[in-house]
Chains A and B, each alone.
Chain A
Amino acid sequence: MTLSGPFRPRFWRSPLRGPWLTAALGSVLLVLVAVVATTGFLSHVAYQPELPGNAIVDPGADLPMSFAWPAGFTYLYAITQGLHVNVGLVAIPFLLAKLWSVIPRLFAWPPVASPAQGLERLSIALLVSSAVFEFVTGVMNIQYWYAFRFNFVVAHYYGAIVFAASLVLHVALKTPVILRAYRERGVLKPLREDLARTGPEPADEHGGLVAPSPAAATLSRRGLFAVVGAGSLALLVANAGETIGGPLRRLSLLAPRRQVIGPGPNDFQVNKTAPAAGITADMTGPGYRLALRHDGREISLSREELLAMDQHTARLPIACVEGWTTTQEWTGVRLADLARTAGAAGAAPALVRSLQPRGVLGRASLNAGQLGHPDALLALKVNGADLSLDHGYPARIIVPGLPGVHNTKWVGAIEFA
């Protein structure tokens, strides 16, 4: 039979495609994706799903992967999650270029020549699907576009397992091909060719990547890398200010969290406002009491009583899972002091409950290291002023290195184990 359209090898004309180009793009992509995947799974650990009230993914259906997330590094989650989101953006142009470099393989004929090839095509389909899925859902989530109407956390997490498994398989199978391409063509040598010297790679007998009748080159290989790298840089510059903060926030022209609200002590980014969480004035008025529970006993404290306790000030970030960070100066009572007051010194974990009637994240448990850290606070003030209602008045948690939403706002009760 005669093949037509993209199934015809001569349909593919770019002189740049070949085993070296795919190996080189894939090598860069692998490094980037390794950072994104590692920080992604670290984020899962940072939520401490094994503690009461924290799990979003059903703990009975989770991988055995957890350790006590430390409070010792103030910017730990800001860094890991900042890397996850920003390196994720940087990886997108390389993912697109890598997929472009191998697109002729999608139309290989016959589609399945052997059981081995059939199996490999299945795993490639899983790899490409899960890769695109992870990037699309991640990018949509940081911009609050929930058109997919499924639980983002669950889908992104299990999608990541599909992606990681099929990626490790792919790298294992392709390592000999990558090494051969580097051995035959040199690791960086093709990057030294200018446009005039850019021609097709030597024909590969079973790869099917090198065009049999290529068009003249319009871009050198180093030109391609420069353009893809420029794309990565553009995405990074457009977003990274929301992670780094300060004056850079306004310079990131397309970052979802670039808004600067005002000069006041409470004018920094709000993850969820009081009205969105269902917080009303009577919950936080003069009748407000914080309940400390331990061993069947309960102590309740008014905000005045909390203000009368030893106050401690710390400069700590709120680091959101969406990759944005805002660092402020918080003042309040050390969680360790509250534990002592409740007769629960050293008790862990502690479940912190918000007054908010709505939302999956109306509660979060803290581990022993977090409860005992000297900068871990029940904050009453920020930048010298009372917390605003949107930032958690009358009292909120702020703990170094913690995922943003676990810094529970409008704290109604702390239950020590």
Chain B
Amino acid sequence: MRDRYGASPLHLLAHLVALPLVAFALLQIAERGDAMRIVIWLALSAVVHDLLLLPFYGLLDRAAQRAAGRSVNYVRVPLLLSGLLLLVFFPAISGKGNGAFHGVSGLDYEGYLARWLLITAALFALSGVTYLLRGRRS
């Protein structure tokens, strides 16, 4: 078994528990009109993360390393935090979600972009102050 399959029988059994559950879930949406869009988004999720987002921030990090050398963390940490906030709150910051938000609640995403820019500036300022203090000490 191990020779031909490549792992213990438990490995196969565990897959045969999980994969039917996955098939069950996918089957329940198969008849829906929006099934194709769900499956496409599901498949693209991994592709976009693995082949676009991750290489993108990897390249960004490499550029930061080239630019800042040994002090890279003073650039990369605020950059990462600011980028993370932009990534997660993009619908509010960009206003992409504002149409539907205003439609149901009568409210608007006001000042999100401005506050994100101010947070970004504050993060880099904090990093700069840390750099100065540490640089002076050493």
Contacts of A147 in B (CB 8 A): 96
> Counting CB contacts under 8 A, is A256 at the interface?
yes
The verdict on B138 contacting chain A, using a C-beta distance below 8 Å, is no
Q: Select B26's contact among A115, A158, A219, beta carbons within 8 Å.
A: A158
The answer to whether B106 and A273 touch across the interface, beta carbons within 8 angstroms, is yes
Chain A residues with CB under 8 Å of B80's CB are 227, 231
Residue picked from A92, A122, A129, most chain B C-beta under 10 Å: A129
Residues from chain A with a CB closer than 8 A to the CB of B88 are 89, 92, 139, 235
Q: Is the Cβ of B91 less than 8 Å from the Cβ of A145? A: yes
A269 at the interface (CB under 8 A from B): yes
The 6 A-B residue pairs with the shortest CB-CB distance in the complex, in nearest-first order: A114-B6, A116-B6, A143-B91, A145-B91, A116-B7, A150-B34
Question: A162 touching B25 by the CB < 8 A rule?
Answer: yes
**A128-B46, A144-B91 known; 16 other A-B pairs, CB under 8 Å?**
A114-B5, A114-B6, A117-B6, A129-B43, A129-B45, A133-B42, A143-B97, A151-B32, A155-B41, A165-B25, A168-B18, A169-B15, A227-B77, A235-B84, A256-B101, A273-B104
Contacts A158-B25, A173-B11: A254 and B81 contacting too (C-beta < 8 A)?
Answer: no
Q: Pick the residue among B46, B54, B73, B85 that contacts A218 (CB under 8 A).
A: B73
Which of A69-77, A99-107, A329-337 lies at the binding interface? A99-107
Contact residues of A with B, CB < 8 Å? 57-58, 61, 89, 92-93, 99-100, 103, 106, 113-117, 119-120, 122-123, 125-126, 128-133, 136-137, 139-140, 143-151, 154-155, 158-159, 161-162, 165-166, 168-169, 172-173, 218-219, 223, 227, 230-231, 234-235, 238, 253-254, 256, 259, 261, 269-273, 275-276, 390
Residues of B within 8 A of A235 (CB): 84-85, 88
Residue of B nearest to A117 (CB): B6
Question: Among A125, A253, A256, which residue has its beta carbon within 8 angstroms of that of B119?
Answer: A253
Which residues of chain B have a CB within 8 Å of any CB of chain A?
4-7, 11-12, 14-15, 17-19, 21-22, 24-26, 28-29, 32, 34, 37-38, 41-43, 45-46, 48-50, 54, 65, 70, 72-73, 77, 80-81, 84-85, 88-89, 91-93, 96-101, 103-107, 109-110, 112, 115-116, 119
Q: How far is the CB of A259 from chain B (nearest CB, A)?
A: 5
Q: A362–B104 Cα gap in the complex (Å)?
A: 14
CB neighbours (8 Å) of B26 from chain A are: 158, 162
Contact B116 A254 (CB under 8 A): yes
Cβ–Cβ < 8 Å partners of A133 in chain B = 41-42, 45
Task: Flag if A254 contacts B25 (CB, 8 Å).
Answer: no
* Max chain B C-beta neighbours (<10 A), residue from A93, A136, A158: A158
Contacts of B99 in A (CB 8 A): 144
Taking CB atoms, residues of chain A closer than 8 Å to B103 are 276
Closest residue of chain B to A13, judged by CB?
B62
A146 with B11, Cβ < 8 A, contacts A115-B4, A128-B50 known: no
A100 nearest CB neighbor, chain B only:
B54
With a CB–CB cut-off of 8 A, which chain A residues contact B43?
Answer: 129
Structural contact, B28 and A230, CB atoms closer than 8 A = no
Q: A100 — which chain B residues lie within 8 A by C-beta?
A: 54
Which residues from chain A contact B85 at a C-beta distance below 8 Å? 234-235, 238, 254
Contact of A254 among B6, B18, B92, B97 (CB under 8 A): B92
Instruction: Kindly state the separation between the CA atoms of A137 and B41 in the bound complex, as whole angstroms.
Output: 9
Q: Residue A158 contacts which of B5, B29, B49, B110 (CB distance < 8 angstroms)?
A: B29
A-B contact pairs, 9 of them (CB 8 A): A99-B49, A106-B50, A116-B7, A116-B11, A128-B46, A132-B45, A143-B91, A165-B19, A259-B107
> CA separation between A235 and B105, bound complex, in Å?
24
Question: CB distance A145 to B96 under 8 Å?
Answer: yes
Judging by beta carbons under 8 Å apart, are B109 and A256 in contact? yes
* B106 lies within 8 A of A270 (CB): yes
List of B residues within 8 angstroms of A173 by Cβ = 11, 14
Cα A230 to Cα B130 in complex, Å, equals 16
Contacting residue for B104 out of A131, A139, A272, CB 8 A: A272
B12 nearest CB across to chain A (Å): 7
Specify which of B6, B25, B41 is in contact with A161 (CB 8 Å cutoff).
Answer: B25
Residues of B contacting A139 with CB < 8 Å? 88, 91
- Select from chain A the residue with minimum beta-carbon distance to B114: A253
Whether A253 contacts B115 by the Cβ 8 Å rule is yes
Determine the chain B residues whose CB is within 8 A of the CB of A116 once the complex forms. Answer: 5-7, 11-12
Assuming the A-B contacts A218-B72, A272-B105, are A150 and B41 also in contact, with contact meaning beta carbons closer than 8 angstroms in the complex?
A: yes
* Bound-state Cα–Cα, A162 to B18, Å: 9
CB-CB under 8 A from A390, the residues of chain B are 106
